[in-house]
Amino acid sequence: MTLTEWTTQLCDALGLELEFERDAILDLARDAAHQIDRPAAPLTTFLVGYAAAQRGGKPGDLEDCIDIATELITESADV
């Protein structure tokens, strides 16, 4: 199964009808895993998704939360 097929199947199974930048989420997970710690990847993406849902769940909410997390990861790497 391809990643696109999996994403579509999972969204359908979860009852999600949304558009999002899959690559931005994958990039965030990669950055968290490499610059923080490997277990930070799924935790970071979960928390970003949860925060976006709390803000309204629109694509712009997700983008804002990804930006916040990315900035924090970058700051942490600079320390």
**Sign of the CA dihedral with 52 first, then 58, 55, and 5 last:** negative
Range 54-67 burial, b when 16+ CB lie within 10 A, else e? eeeeeeebbeebbe
Average pLDDT over residues 16-42: 92
Please tell me the predicted confidence (pLDDT) of residue 79. 66
Please tell me the predicted confidence (pLDDT) of residue 40. 95
78 close to 41: Cβ distance less than 8 angstroms: no
User: Domain boundaries in the chain?
Assistant: 20-78
The model's pTM: 0.85
